[in-house]
Structure 1
Amino acid sequence: MTDSIAVNMRNSPALITGMGAVTAIGQDITAISQSLKKGTSVFSFMTREGRCSDDLFIGAELPALTMPTQFDAYNLSTCSLSAKAALVALQQAWTDARLDTVEPEKIGLIVGGSNVQQRHLNNLRDKRKNAPYFIQPSYALNFMDSDICGICTELFGIRGSAFSLGGASASGQLAVIEAAKAVTSGALDVCVVVGALMDLSYWECHAFSSLGAMGSSRFSDAPTQACRPFDQQRDGFIYGEGCGVLVLERHQHALQRGAHLRGAIPGCAVVMDGNRNPDPSLAGEIAVIQQVLHNSAMTASDIDYINPHGSGSVLGDDTELQALAKTGLRSAPLNATKSLFGHALSAAGCLEIIATLIQMEQGFLHPSLNLDNPIQADFNWVTTTRHETNIKQALSLSYGFGGLNTAVCIIKP
């Protein structure tokens, strides 16, 4: 039996008024939009210090980040890649939503993701293993999940509530759901969501690989072909660095200040399987889809587009398609954003909502790379060619280890 949390916002939906992102295929919304339209990916063997040892793992890593000049006076040398990516993406979303006009006490922050700075911490330990008394004092900050909350609230002057929220690979979407609840309840006028970059070290990569969750070396001769959600040759997720930021506002507040409306969230749902293990639950996925449709006052036939979790997991992808079929969503168009970004883990749910918003705004559906032979061919796949279309009502899904299922409906404002 599943435990559930229903989020009904149909009478006063949370409004999305800003977004920003950094991914391996683009470091702002404009660049990411162009890459989505082209169907671009940059998968290769990863080379970051502390991520590869005797084993080589395929993934998509960010190019060097360009930090906003406003941070020049701040010492970022002790900040992790996760923190820097959050600052870059947050600056984009902050400007997009024009948050400088909002009282700092009315703005809150939720960071989706826990234990996201692992590579940074391991590198600090490795460099000081022969002289542990000289470890940087900043380690006492870095190992805590509140570190990214702290630097974001300090540099952007956020004075409302702020906290981090862990939900494994559903963290980003779970944070969006909590932000939507905060603004629709009136607790905050504005809530900023950071889907944090989970900076994997060698230890996590090796463990994921040993677990059978991360893609194997089957495509070591052709790394660009390794990430293939829903394809018959999939054999696990392929990691991708990324960070996404969304700004959610209370409906009345956004309208009063004349905010630019990116999208609206009429309903969300969270369902727990009661299961510590990584295996998916068909019952849980069916339940979360049914609840989000109910909470949004929609039926399956109302959905114009599905952005699925689609990780490339052998069991997970098959289970997800079964859930979509059993909830009447077999005919809705769908593509696989992770085939372009890679699996951004804690940031995935937030980044995939951003990808959904981009497609809704610009009237297209991006290609799905490496979807040569879908495991169920009778779904309405977007494969190697971009589709031009008008999306009015979309469904985004995220699932996380530990039995976590989340769903968000998104509509044009």
Structure 2
Amino acid sequence: MQTNSSIGITGMGIISSIGDNLTSFSASLKQGTSGIKHVNLSSEPKLSVNIAAKIQDFSFVEKLKNIQNIPEEMFAKAKRLGQRAPFGIQTSILSALQAWEQARLFESTTSSEKIGLVIAGQNSTQNYQYDLISQFKENPEYLSPRYALEFLETNQVGVLSELFDIEGEGFVVGGASATGNVGIIKGHQLIQLGIVDVCLVVGVVADLSPIDIQGFINIGAMGGKKYSNQPEKACRPFDENHEGFIYGQASVSIILESETSATKRAVSSLANIKGYAFILDKNSSANPNMNGEVKAMLLALERAGVEASNINYINTHGSSSPLGDKTEAEAIHKVFESHASNIFLNSTKVLTGHCLYSAGLVEVVATVVQMREGFLHPNINLETPIRNDLQFCGTKTINFQATIAMSNSFGFGGINTSIVLEKN
């Protein structure tokens, strides 16, 4: 087990509603650009919510051409594997290639047996299956022969391991809205245990079917009705007028790497994973649990070896759910006590929507971008904060140097995760 070597992020990639690469994503964060718009979530049946932060104007081949420094052989392989694949596979390929390129793994001599793969995603083929129903009912025998592979989450493992020649451990993890953080934690543990030196962690895009969307509406989790005519104002984390999460889409990939491996390859880490926590609060329902959130943050701090007073920025879970926001704000205040008012808080979901399975990865990437570029993105819709004793970022971007930051993700079913990051 590697105990003396730190584990860092050496590459990142993203396809989202506010940017299809790190440069455009970063620019949107700085500008406070929202990806939430009027969209047609279902032509039949009609749904009561018609806003989301979906990936628009998507062309796999065109976006593939825009990725820099891909070897010709790798480009051809990616095109072959992705051109006729489901949307979720295509976006994973693109974000993973971006991260691979930034980590300079195209020129690496890292052994394929020492590279791991963690797919952070669950129920990712729901809409793909839903769209096939009418065709299947009419002509069942015309179902694609690849369907038996493509409806399985492990299709992501197969495609990406083939694309990148990965022969270490590879698997799929799920944790509801905390899935992205769970993926990072499990990738970190693979390296910590010495099983691999490098790990590709991929947050799968949430491609919800109309049934999934209606399910969230029925339990009161999804917002979008109160501000249906002003979609960019609908996601309101920690604001008195929040009503529920707004659905977002993003595929995000990061490369985790041991310090020893990064040094050997002469690659710099963008940020280090200082500590993490992943705990359950023994709850099968959707409601958040303050004690579980408190325990996750405290354990992450303990494992990071840092005092609560060392944290100066938190990228909150901040889902825009009234109960969720209230609970997280209480938990932060309980963990950080008198220091809580000194910590800047924002929620990337205000710009990207809630990207569900990939949300934790979206927010870790956003945290690293902000730490490295010296700014904090705004909470663009925060007009009346639910608490006055916490330091929420305002409606404008500010210059700020976060040195040690925390990123929270909490999921249905009592899943609580927290990650502590340090700028390298």
What is the match of residue 393 of structure 1?
A: 404
What is the match of residue 89 of structure 1?
A: 95
What is the match of residue 154 of structure 1?
A: 162
Preserved contact between residue 51 and residue 202 of structure 1 (Cα < 8 Å): no
Residue 237 (str. 1) matches residue 245 (str. 2):
yes
CA shift in 2, pair 1:119/1:291, >3 Å: same
SS at match of 1:33: helix
Deviation, 1:13, is 2.4
SS at match of 1:271: strand
Q: Which deviates the most, 317-326 or 10-19?
A: 10-19
CA shift in 2, pair 1:10/1:337, >3 Å: farther
SS at match of 2:405: strand
SS at match of 1:319: helix
Deviation, 1:61, is 1.1
Identity %: 37
Residue 191 (str. 1) matches residue 199 (str. 2):
yes
CA shift in 2, pair 1:158/1:191, >3 Å: same
Q: Which deviates the most, 337-346 or 247-256?
A: 247-256
In the superposition, the TM-score normalised over structure 1's length comes to: 0.95
Residue 104 (str. 1) matches residue 112 (str. 2):
yes
Q: Structure 2 CA distance, aligned partners of 1:316 and 1:221?
A: 24
Tell me which amino acid in the other structure corresponds to 1:332: I
CA shift in 2, pair 1:314/1:185, >3 Å: same
CA shift in 2, pair 1:344/1:189, >3 Å: same
What is the match of residue 36 of structure 1?
A: 29
In the superposition, the TM-score normalised over structure 2's length comes to: 0.92
Preserved contact between residue 15 and residue 251 of structure 1 (Cα < 8 Å): yes
Preserved contact between residue 379 and residue 394 of structure 2 (Cα < 8 Å): yes
Q: Which deviates the most, 323-332 or 262-271?
A: 323-332
SS at match of 2:378: coil
CA shift in 2, pair 1:271/1:129, >3 Å: same
SS at match of 1:111: strand
* Cα offsets for 1:137-160 (capped at 9, x unmatched): 222112111011111111222121
Tell me which amino acid in the other structure corresponds to 2:320: G
CA shift in 2, pair 1:293/1:9, >3 Å: farther
For residues 266-281 of structure 1, the aligned pairs below 5 Å read: 266-281=274-289
Deviation, 1:204, is 0.5
What is the match of residue 15 of structure 2?
A: 22
Preserved contact between residue 115 and residue 196 of structure 2 (Cα < 8 Å): yes
Preserved contact between residue 121 and residue 142 of structure 1 (Cα < 8 Å): no
What is the match of residue 334 of structure 1?
A: 345
What is the match of residue 4 of structure 1?
A: none
SS at match of 1:74: helix
Residue 319 (str. 1) matches residue 340 (str. 2):
no
CA shift in 2, pair 1:300/1:389, >3 Å: same
Q: 1:263 aligns with which of 271, 289, 295?
A: 271
Deviation, 1:52, is 6.2
What is the match of residue 140 of structure 2?
A: 132
Tell me which amino acid in the other structure corresponds to 1:353: V
Residues paired across the two proteins, number: 405
Greater share of helix residues, 1 or 2? 2
Q: Structure 1 CA distance, aligned partners of 2:357 and 2:385?
A: 26
Residue 405 (str. 1) matches residue 416 (str. 2):
yes
Tell me which amino acid in the other structure corresponds to 2:300: V
Q: Structure 1 CA distance, aligned partners of 2:169 and 2:81?
A: 25
Q: Which deviates the most, 253-262 or 279-288?
A: 253-262
SS at match of 2:55: coil
What is the match of residue 3 of structure 1?
A: none
* Cα offsets for 1:218-237 (capped at 9, x unmatched): 11121111111111111100
What is the match of residue 117 of structure 1?
A: 125
* Cα offsets for 1:175-220 (capped at 9, x unmatched): 0001111112211010010011111010101110111001041111
* Cα offsets for 1:96-115 (capped at 9, x unmatched): 00112022221111000111
What is the match of residue 141 of structure 1?
A: 149
Q: Structure 2 CA distance, aligned partners of 1:73 and 1:353?
A: 28
What is the match of residue 53 of structure 1?
A: 45
For residues 73-84 of structure 1, the aligned pairs below 5 Å read: 73-74=79-80, 76-84=82-90
CA root-mean-square deviation:
1.7
Gaps spanning 5+ residues in structure 2: where? 66-74
Q: Structure 1 CA distance, aligned partners of 2:2 and 2:300?
A: 10
Q: Structure 2 CA distance, aligned partners of 1:402 and 1:78?
A: 35
* Cα offsets for 1:43-67 (capped at 9, x unmatched): 122236x576311431011121434
* Cα offsets for 1:234-281 (capped at 9, x unmatched): 110001110111100112111222112100012111110111111000
Q: Structure 1 CA distance, aligned partners of 2:370 and 2:3?
A: 22
Q: Structure 2 CA distance, aligned partners of 1:160 and 1:51?
A: 43
* Cα offsets for 1:309-339 (capped at 9, x unmatched): 0001110100000000001134311111000
Deviation, 1:134, is 1.9
Deviation, 1:367, is 0.7
* Cα offsets for 1:330-372 (capped at 9, x unmatched): 4311111000011000000011000000000000000112111
Residue 369 (str. 1) matches residue 404 (str. 2):
no
What is the match of residue 216 of structure 2?
A: 208
Tell me which amino acid in the other structure corresponds to 1:82: G
SS at match of 1:253: helix
